Structure 1
Amino acid sequence: MRVVEKSAKTVEEAIELALTELDLDENQVEIYVLEQPTKGFLGLIGSKNALVRVTEKYNVVDEAQKFLKKICSMMEIDPNINIVNNSEDNLEINLTGDNLGLLIGRRGDTLDALQFILNLVINKNCEKRIKIILDVENYRSKREETLFKLAKRLSEKAKKTGKKIVLEPMNPHERRIIHMSLQEDHRINTYSEGEEPYRKVVIVPKKI
């Protein structure tokens, strides 16, 4: 964030000088009047100019886009950065373009890491925490649908064979999807076992 201090005969003039230097509008900055102007004795002796400090407001969307452009440039990738949702507490970003598999990684590992770092970088300068969800070519919704179908298929297998089924290691978010997908099926139980990052979901058929 850029900060400038300007002095002039009036507060308004000092603010205008600062805005001109920053090339910003008044609604894009925060203004602090450090000193009010004084006329002094007979308007001559001891007079003081106004002094203001003008600070550029922290723009979450702009900063997130700058960060992503920098990272993608280092990876020699040039995606489109689409703002899906921008509310007071949440920011959803979806990257689209060609050859973006590198940003997703194996089962979304790279995407999750980028999202984690992006949240750290942006929230470092935010007064109020904002949750940022980063996606690439709607990978997360597609992955969620895949996990839902997997959960249903394996639950049927568990009920048919009467044996428990242990899934591959998943991150907490994906395990939660499996649990929620099967929570209405009263013929099975699900639980997680193991330590991160190798924690797995177990599907167990209930004995009738």
Structure 2
Amino acid sequence: MRRSLELKSKTKEEAINKALQQLNVKLEDLEVEIIENPTKGFLGFIGSKDGTYKFTVIERETDIAKKFIENILKNANITAKVNVTQENNLIKVNIEGNDAASLIGRRGETLDSIQFLTGLALNKVNKDSHMRVLVDIENYRSKREESLVRYASKVAREVAKTKKTKKLDCMNPYERRIVHSALQNDKYVITYSEGTDPYRRLVIEYKR
């Protein structure tokens, strides 16, 4: 539920300052609605009436993502720091903390589930959102990417040498894209995927 506050004040500026203090937000995060304008009255003060203003906190998608994940951490009794940044239409969430590693799961399966649920939370608030979410814990994804690239190169060299097709273990779409990208310019092998998620796997084949 969006936080809101209704105030009466002699001027709009005065009401805004009160709202900023009470809601503890910045001006750019505040939506202002004038319910009733103030009246000066006779001689500027007799019969004057304060204006009524409604202030609503604008919930940005980065804030929603951060709060959602902080709630997951709280329910899991995990103390960790959540850093959120935005690059164009991508929201990056990095979770830092020794205990947070327990949320990665086997081959990042739990982490992927958290990322998926965070995306659903954003869409629930804003159905027209075009934002994508990337959730990481202790830079797991970059380490996993380096590991996948090394593994893909090793298997590619094996396929080039033996000319025998190799099928890798099941991977999620993110990991398959990493391998495809790593081998897309290889002179000796081609890559493609087969099967259906979550059992879809990547195939490395000798380029004939």
* Pairs within 5 Å for 1:190-201: 190-201=191-202
Q: For residue 73 of structure 1, what is the aligned residue in structure 2?
A: 74
Aligned length: 206
Tell me the TM-score normalised to structure 2 length.
0.83
Task: Check if 1:106 corresponds to 2:106.
Answer: yes
Deviation at 1:5, TM superposition (A): 2.1
Question: How far 1:109 sits from its partner (Å)?
Answer: 0.7
Structure 1: state its 5+ residue gaps. none
Q: Deviations over 1:51-92 (max 9, x none)?
A: 211111224444433322221122121122234x34453332
Q: What does residue range 120-159 of structure 1 map to in structure 2 within 5 Å? A: 120-126=120-126, 128-159=129-160
Instruction: Give the match's secondary structure for 1:124.
Output: helix
TM-score normalised by the chain length of structure 1? 0.83
CA distance in 2, matches of 1:111, 1:76: 16
C-alpha separation in 1, matches of 2:200 and 2:48: 71
Over 3 Å counting, the alpha-carbon distance change for 1:16 and 1:117 in structure 2 is same
Compare 57-66 and 192-201 and name the one that shifted more: 57-66
Change (3 A) 1:22 1:162: closer
Determine the C-alpha separation between the residues in 2 that align with 1:24 and 1:97: 27
Gaps of 5+ in 2: none
Separation in structure 2 between the aligned mates of residue 119 and residue 9 of structure 1, nearest angstrom? 43
1:64 corresponds in structure 2 to: 65
Shift in CA distance, 196/12, structure 1 to aligned 2, threshold 3 Å: same
| Cα distance, 1:26–1:105 mapped onto 2, change above 3 Å | same
What percent identity do the matched residue pairs reach? Answer: 42
Is 1:183 aligned with 2:188? no
